[in-house]
Amino acid sequence: MVAFLSWYAFPPLLTLAIKKDLHMSQNQYANSNIMSLTGTLVIRLISGPLCDKFGPRYVFVGCLLAGAIPTALAGTVTMPTGLIVLRFFIGVLGASFVPCQVWCTGFFDKNVVGTANALAGGWGNSGGGITYFVMPAIFDSLMKRQHLTAHVAWRMSFIVPFIIITALAMGILFTTEDCPSGKWADRHQPLDNIVLDAAVDFSSQEKIPTEKPETKDTEAAEHEPTAIDKAEGEVIVAPTLKEGLQVFFSLQTLALAAPYACSFGGELAINSIIGTYYLKNFPKLGQTGSGRWAAMFGLLNVVFRPLGGVIGDLLYKYTGTVWSKKLLITFLGISMGCFELAIGLMNPNRKSLMFGLIAGLAIFMDASNGANFAVVPHVHPFANGILSGIVGASGNLGGIVFAIIFRYNGTHYAKTIWIIGAISIGVNVACSWIRPIPKKQIGGQ
Q: Does residue 259 belong to any structural domain of this protein?
A: yes
Q: What's the CA gap between 59 and 53, in Å, rounded?
A: 10
Q: What pLDDT score was predicted for residue 221?
A: 47
Q: What's the CA gap between 240 and 388, in Å, rounded?
A: 16
Q: What pLDDT score was predicted for residue 12?
A: 80
For position 300, which CATH number holds? 1.20.1250.20
In 3D space, the residue among 285, 29, 21, 3 whose CA is nearest the CA of residue 153 turns out to be 21
Q: What pLDDT score was predicted for residue 25?
A: 86
Mean pLDDT by 10 residues, the chain (445 residues): 88 79 85 87 90 91 94 89 91 92 88 89 84 86 88 90 94 92 76 53 49 48 53 62 84 94 92 88 84 85 91 92 94 96 94 94 94 90 86 91 89 93 96 88 64
Q: Does residue 109 belong to any structural domain of this protein?
A: yes
DSSP for 239-262, written as a single string: --HHHHHHHHH-HHHHHHHHHHHH
Q: Does residue 157 belong to any structural domain of this protein?
A: yes
In 3D space, the residue among 84, 147, 102, 140 whose CA is nearest the CA of residue 403 turns out to be 84
Q: What pLDDT score was predicted for residue 218?
A: 46
Q: What pLDDT score was predicted for residue 208?
A: 47
Q: What pLDDT score was predicted for residue 285?
A: 85
Q: What pLDDT score was predicted for residue 64?
A: 95
Q: What share of the chain is helix, strand, coil (3-state, %, to 5)?
A: 80, 0, 20
Q: Is 25 exposed, middle or buried (0-12, 13-18, 19+ CB in 10 A)?
A: exposed
Q: What's the CA gap between 152 and 172, in Å, rounded?
A: 32
Q: Which residues contact 325 (CB under 8 A, 6 or more apart)?
A: 114, 312, 315, 316, 371, 374, 375, 378, 436
In 3D space, the residue among 419, 418, 291 whose CA is nearest the CA of residue 347 turns out to be 418
Within a 10 A sphere around the Cβ of 359, how many other Cβ atoms?
14
Q: What's the CA gap between 381 and 88, in Å, rounded?
A: 31
Q: What's the CA gap between 382 and 53, in Å, rounded?
A: 12
Q: Does residue 156 belong to any structural domain of this protein?
A: yes
Total domains in the fold of the chain: 1
Widest pairwise Cα distance in the chain? 91
Across 290-413, where does the E strand assignment appear? none
Q: Does residue 192 belong to any structural domain of this protein?
A: no
Q: Residue 109, Cα to own-chain centre: how many angstroms?
A: 20
Q: Does residue 197 belong to any structural domain of this protein?
A: no
Q: What pLDDT score was predicted for residue 261?
A: 96
Q: What pLDDT score was predicted for residue 220?
A: 45
Q: What pLDDT score was predicted for residue 342?
A: 96
- Please say whether the beta carbons of 57 and 99 come within 8 A: yes
Q: Does residue 218 belong to any structural domain of this protein?
A: no
Strand partners, 182: 179
In 3D space, the residue among 302, 295, 362 whose CA is nearest the CA of residue 335 turns out to be 362
Domain containing 391: what range? 2-183+234-431
Q: Does residue 438 belong to any structural domain of this protein?
A: no
